[in-house]
Structure 1
Amino acid sequence: MVRLSCPPELRRPLLWWGLAAGFLVGGSGLWLWHQQGGELLLPLPMPHARPAPSPPAQLAWQSPLHRQCSVADGQLRQRLQQLRRDYPGSLQRLQIDPSNYAERLSHDAFGNPLSTRPSLVVLHETVFGLQSALNTFLSANSRDEDQVSYHLLIGEKGNAVQALDPSKRAYGAGYSAFAGEWVVTNPELDGSVNNFALHVSLETPLDGEDNAESHSGYSSAQYDTLAVALADWMQRFKIPPERITTHRHVDLGHERADPRSFDWDALQQRLAALGVLC
């Protein structure tokens, strides 16, 4: 903002000149002059937006979830509907350290407008215990490489912990993209999906606290809670099942394998029972 002192007799001519100049400077925004006492306030024009770099090519996401409008298992449907009613009250909410998350950005590093509505869900696993992950989120981390968070974590018994409100940007995936989409927040660095993603992580069983390709898998209670949480996000943010993916898929560094041993059929059955795949 440029602040100009100006005698009263010159304010009106300068006001009209400033408005005219704003229309003549194409593409750099409207220059608006405001009177405030004996001064004129001139907001500087925004710089031109520049095209953001595109992420490298990656394999297309072939979603294991398919459209299904009916389900035969009435007991499963009743159990999930009850869990859905109880879910808001049973959700544990934490206040994690501010170093581990940020606001969703409305513009990228090059001035291009962005939607702040979540449009993608990325599935993870904790590898170590649930409390270990939470302790990391609750701790202040000054180094970028140590800053990490998910929006939601689901314990082995199906207990859900909201570490971050969906309106915030979690640091769940670093160098990442989905279907040719990423957001570059620093012109010196590559982009990620974090600005438009929701991140949910399942607690890994004890036999999975290593780098093996698989483990014994997740509990039935975890799949129940995951389905209820996803149903909420899918309906609230209009996220289609095709945009529920994995950390393994979005990771462009090919270093992540989570969630290992994930049972897509178990999730499919539950989302169909909740009626969100129609």
Structure 2
Amino acid sequence: MVRDRLSRFCTGVWNCVEQHRSLVISGAAAGALALGLTGWVLMDQGEVSPVVIERGRQREDNPSSSVPLPPKSRSWRSPLARQCSGVDRALRSRLNKLDASSSSWRAFVKIDPTNFGERYDKDAYGRVIDATPRVVVLHETVYSMSSALNTFMTPHPRDEDQVSYHTLVGQDGRVLDLVDPLSRAYGAGFSAFLGEWAITNKKLKGSVNNFALHLSLETPPSGANANSSHVGYTSKQYDALALVLSGWIRSFNLPPAAITTHRHVDLGGERGDPRSFDWSKLQTRLAALGDLCVS
């Protein structure tokens, strides 16, 4: 009985549609148009986010903004030891005299502004970060100091090409300050120190640049290659290096253990500088300056 009623109802609806076919078609078209206009308006107002297909792969207009996890902490055991006695007084006197005449061997050189920047107080994900300089990374130029300087004076608009150090120390003991210590130099790429990095550009990997000070020693001619060592650095370089580091230690209240190498902070396994570095020579000089007598 229910089936008979349903049959009679469907027959009646069909007859009605047949009698008013043009009206039904017009109504359906109007409904579809209204639905389409509603969707277009909502999309235009940002209430609907369309999925875009690009080069055969589906992507969202707003890609994931999840923060990459920092690397596991790699321990750093500083070669510099605490020293309050056994100081070379003649060395102390010589370094103090050298420091007093710094205007004769130290100068500021302006490099291209694309090769350095301001330190960020927020990372690329909007999180507050500490931009205080708290680690010193030692490097070497591989080629001459003039070659390195030419690179830093050349504009590099692309972020991935930008490079600089805060300070260069030549074989003859000359010191060139290139970037203000309060600003950010681009001395290390993919890097971290004690498990810490800062991501200031979502397109690039994290690095120590935002909280690091970078100093590079001019490489001797024997080191203009990819060998694991060379003849080493000059006595004048170690003198100048110690004086620059002493100034940074006191200005930023840095512990000597915060002085590390590019080789240590590099996460890509591609850097080995500064090669043939003699920590004992830095030890005697910083001790003479009184920077290693700390608890």
Above 0.5 in TM-score?
A: yes
Structure number with higher helix proportion? 2
Query: Whole-Å Cα distance in 1 between the matches of residues 67 and 209 of structure 2?
Result: 16
CA shift for structure 1 position 57? 2.2
Does 2:181 correspond to 1:151? Answer: no
Shift of 1:188: 3.6
Q: How does 1:1-278 map to 2 (within 5 A)?
A: 52-57=67-72, 59-87=74-102, 90-278=105-293
Corresponding residue number in structure 2 for 1:4: none
Q: CA RMSD in A?
A: 1.5
Misfit runs of 4+, over 6 Å: none
Which deviations, in whole Å up to 9, do the C-alpha atoms of 1:97-149 show, x marking residues without a partner?
A: 01101100011112221223211100000000000000000111123332100
User: How much has 1:51 moved relative to structure 2?
Assistant: 8.2
Quote the Cα distance in structure 1 between the aligned partners of 2:82 and 2:135. 18
Q: CA deviation at 1:220?
A: 0.4
Q: Which runs of 5+ in 1 are unaligned?
A: 1-49
CA distance in 2 between partners of 1:238 and 1:72 (Å): 22
Higher gyration radius (CA): 2
Aligned-residue offset at 1:88: 5.1
Q: Give the corresponding residue for 2:37.
A: none
Alpha carbons of 1:99 and 1:272: their partners in 2 closer, same or farther (altered >3 Å)?
same
* Length-normalised TM-score, structure 2: 0.75
Which stretch of the first structure deviates more once superposed, 265-274 or 113-122? Answer: 113-122
Aligned residue pairs total: 229
CA distance in 1, matches of 2:105, 2:274: 24
Distance 1:255 1:77, change over 3 A: same
Q: Secondary structure at the match of 1:108?
A: coil
Deviation at 1:189, TM superposition (A): 2.9
Q: State how far apart, in whole Å, the 2-side matches of 1:271 and 1:51 are.
A: 43
Deviation at 1:179, TM superposition (A): 0.1
TM-score of the superposed pair, with normalisation by structure 1: 0.79
Unpaired runs of 5+ residues, structure 2, are 1-64
